[in-house]
Chain A
Amino acid sequence: MKALIDSFLIMLGKTPVRPDHYTPEAEAMLAAKRTPEAREERKRLIAEEKVTKHKNHFWRNWRWVSIITVNLLFVLSYRMDIQVVEGALTGSRFVGFHMADLNSALQVMLAYKHVLINLVIGTSTILFVWWLFGGRSFCAWVCPYHLLAELVEQLHLKLAAKGLVKDHPLHRATRTVLYVIFVLLAVITGYTVFEFISPVGILSRAFTYGFSLALLWVTFLLGVELFYSRRFWCRYICPIGLTYGVVGAFSPVRVTYDMEKCLHEGECRKVCMVPHVLSMTRIGYAQDVHMDIGADCTRCGMCIEVCPSKALKFEIKGLSKLL
């Protein structure tokens, strides 16, 4: 329970801290890891891995296939009339079943102040689906903005490596504050204020229904991410991410951490969009020898790909027990 609350607070903006106590196993393992011999051994392994490691994009490739497929299905359902998933990411019908984006549905209900039956059906379906698949896996596996931002991020990192741009991080609580603001704005104004600037809705509609001036806003956001602040929107702003993060806190699909295998070199945190969820990979930050990665995790799998010692892996809670 405490771990869940902490995972929530970290998602809302809390800076992860060292735990005040460890489980006996973790304590023993930590002591073993802190001997000079163990340190030397880790250094040797890290140096070795720098030579032998080769790039692995297994999960990323599947993720890109997923994002493109889902968004293409939306487009083709209309353009080619294949009618698989009609509408946009904000609201749709999947072979006839209502689906509604959780954040869009929330905005609509707060602004309109009615409980809409179809929307409740659509929201429940989506709630179940994303509870099952891991909450923010929506971000990494479906969101079209995520894909664009990911490509821009690679460019940003290249420019940053050349010293041409510098990342300007924001406080992560910015997203929490904005979330509250957008909720209040919807209630007070009676308009779905956030939808006006949501790059997810803008992109999804543009794919299916054609060009929109609102795409300039999306371009501007990508520009901010390229030149000023790495993954600005997804990290510090997007309320959709927070909504799905809450769902993901209870999800059976998650990335898990095995302290024993970890070399604590921090490659995973370097590639991660939400590195605060990987704070336990710093030596002395893991309370237990096996831990679940926090709610804010998008299940993108980049940490798994980059981890040389397989200390991180996907797990489906309950399934491993069942098998």
Chain B
Amino acid sequence: MSMFFGKSSVDSDERRRFLRSALLGSAIAAASLLGFLPVVKRWSKRLRPPGALVEHEFLAACIKCGQCVQVCPVKAIHLADATDGYGLGVPFIEARVQACDFSCDALQCTLACPTGALSHSLSTKEQVRMGLARVSNPDSCLARQGKGFKGPARGADFPGIHRYAEIDRWKAIPLADHPYDLESCDLCVRECPIKGAIVMKPMSDDVSDRRRTPQVTADCTGCGMCAMICPAEDSVITIEPRAVWRA
């Protein structure tokens, strides 16, 4: 080791320098370990973009470059901050604010991912399993009260966008620019990008009963479109990240 310390390794300047190095070096290592806390304590359970590997592998494989963010046509993907610990720079989706609606068709984010943290093995949107939609707040549901809906789904100021196939197959437009006039609210079913992932079920056998209840099926990908479109103040539907379907 003497070559690393030179001849003067005994004098006090050298000793102080060594102590300082040990102290500051440890401080840096300690700072890097702070990232553990949010991960282990699961402070944030994030909805990850399509194709994400299981969480701990996802955090390891992601190179934190944001290429998935850049290709998303509806800008649904964001990078997490330092409060996510080792999830810093890792992509997530806030479905209620801006859901993935598979506008890109070909899962652009998974194709953009340089490391396969967003798995390249998916080829259709139907194969995606980001999580599951849950009817978590049924009392607010307009359909369950037999009510209709009129106006833009989330109000005139809502910035979220969505691609309406019937308007422009290639361009997403703001939800605010697409008002509805529905006799009976079925927005979650109507705008779901996966056929049959959510359905409206009558609430009784009585044909004159207009009440319907949304029901999530095994085909749900967890994309969150239903959670974004739901016009109820607190969304009736929330997305449970990484939840898997159990019959």
User: Chain A residues in contact with chain B, CB under 8 A?
Assistant: 9, 13-15, 17, 77-78, 86-88, 90-93, 98, 100-101, 104-105, 108, 111-114, 116, 118-119, 122, 168-171, 173-174, 177-178, 181-182, 185, 189-197, 201-202, 205, 208-209, 212-214, 216-217, 229, 232, 236-237
Pairwise interchain contact B24-A174, C-beta atoms closer than 8 A: yes
Pairwise interchain contact A87-B82, C-beta atoms closer than 8 A: no
What distance in Å separates the Cβ of B46 from its nearest Cβ neighbour in chain A? 15
A191 in complex: contacting residue of B17, B66, B69, B86, CB < 8 Å: B86
Is B168 in the interface zone, CB < 8 Å from A? no
Pairwise interchain contact A201-B64, C-beta atoms closer than 8 A: yes
**A195 to B82, alpha carbons, bound, how many Å?**
11
Choose the segment among B1-9, B139-147, B190-198, B216-224 that binds chain A (4+ C-beta atoms closer than 8 Å): B1-9
Pairwise interchain contact B114-A91, C-beta atoms closer than 8 A: yes
A108 in complex: contacting residue of B21, B79, B115, CB < 8 Å: B115
Pairwise interchain contact A205-B89, C-beta atoms closer than 8 A: yes
Chain B positions 69-101 with a Cβ under 8 Å from a chain A Cβ? 69-70, 78-79, 81-83, 85-86, 88-89
Is B35 in the interface zone, CB < 8 Å from A? yes
Pairwise interchain contact A171-B81, C-beta atoms closer than 8 A: no
Q: Secondary structure of the B side of the interface?
A: helix
Is B28 in the interface zone, CB < 8 Å from A? yes
| With contact pairs A116-B61, A173-B4, A212-B82 given, residues A87 and B70 touching in the complex (Cβ less than 8 Å) | yes
**A173 to B115, alpha carbons, bound, how many Å?**
32
Number of chain B residues whose Cβ lies closer than 8 Å to a Cβ of chain A: 45
Pairwise interchain contact B82-A86, C-beta atoms closer than 8 A: no
Pairwise interchain contact A170-B20, C-beta atoms closer than 8 A: yes
Pairwise interchain contact A209-B39, C-beta atoms closer than 8 A: no
**A27 to B61, alpha carbons, bound, how many Å?**
54
Is B243 in the interface zone, CB < 8 Å from A? no
- Who on chain A is nearest to B56 by CB? A190
**A111 to B112, alpha carbons, bound, how many Å?**
21
**A19 to B67, alpha carbons, bound, how many Å?**
50
**A114 to B115, alpha carbons, bound, how many Å?**
10
Is B137 in the interface zone, CB < 8 Å from A? no
Pairwise interchain contact A185-B32, C-beta atoms closer than 8 A: yes
A217 in complex: contacting residue of B78, B82, B85, CB < 8 Å: B82
**A191 to B114, alpha carbons, bound, how many Å?**
17
**A229 to B16, alpha carbons, bound, how many Å?**
14
What distance in Å separates the Cβ of A20 from its nearest Cβ neighbour in chain B? 13
**A93 to B67, alpha carbons, bound, how many Å?**
8
**A263 to B79, alpha carbons, bound, how many Å?**
53
Pairwise interchain contact B65-A15, C-beta atoms closer than 8 A: no
Pairwise interchain contact A196-B35, C-beta atoms closer than 8 A: yes
Residues of A within 8 A of B60 (CB): 108, 111-113, 190-192
**A15 to B18, alpha carbons, bound, how many Å?**
14
Residues of B within 8 A of A101 (CB): 63
User: Chain B residues in contact with chain A, CB under 8 A?
Assistant: 3-6, 17-18, 20-21, 24-25, 28-29, 31-36, 39, 56-57, 59-67, 69-70, 78-79, 81-83, 85-86, 88-89, 112, 114-116
Pairwise interchain contact B3-A88, C-beta atoms closer than 8 A: no
Question: Apart from A196-B34, A196-B85, A205-B89, what are 12 other A-B pairs with CB-CB below 8 Å?
Answer: A87-B114, A91-B64, A91-B65, A93-B67, A93-B114, A108-B115, A116-B61, A116-B116, A191-B35, A209-B79, A212-B82, A236-B25
**A34 to B111, alpha carbons, bound, how many Å?**
66
**A190 to B35, alpha carbons, bound, how many Å?**
12
Pairwise interchain contact A196-B32, C-beta atoms closer than 8 A: yes
- Who on chain A is nearest to B14 by CB? A171
**A105 to B63, alpha carbons, bound, how many Å?**
7
Pairwise interchain contact B67-A178, C-beta atoms closer than 8 A: no
Most B-side CB within 10 Å, residue of A15, A105, A113 = A15
What distance in Å separates the Cβ of A73 from its nearest Cβ neighbour in chain B? 13
**A105 to B83, alpha carbons, bound, how many Å?**
23
10 closest A-B pairs (Cβ-Cβ)?
A91-B65, A196-B35, A111-B60, A87-B65, A91-B63, A214-B82, A171-B21, A112-B60, A191-B86, A15-B6
Pairwise interchain contact A86-B67, C-beta atoms closer than 8 A: yes
**A212 to B3, alpha carbons, bound, how many Å?**
42
Residues of B within 8 A of A118 (CB): 114-116
Residues of B within 8 A of A114 (CB): 61
Residues of B within 8 A of A217 (CB): 31, 82
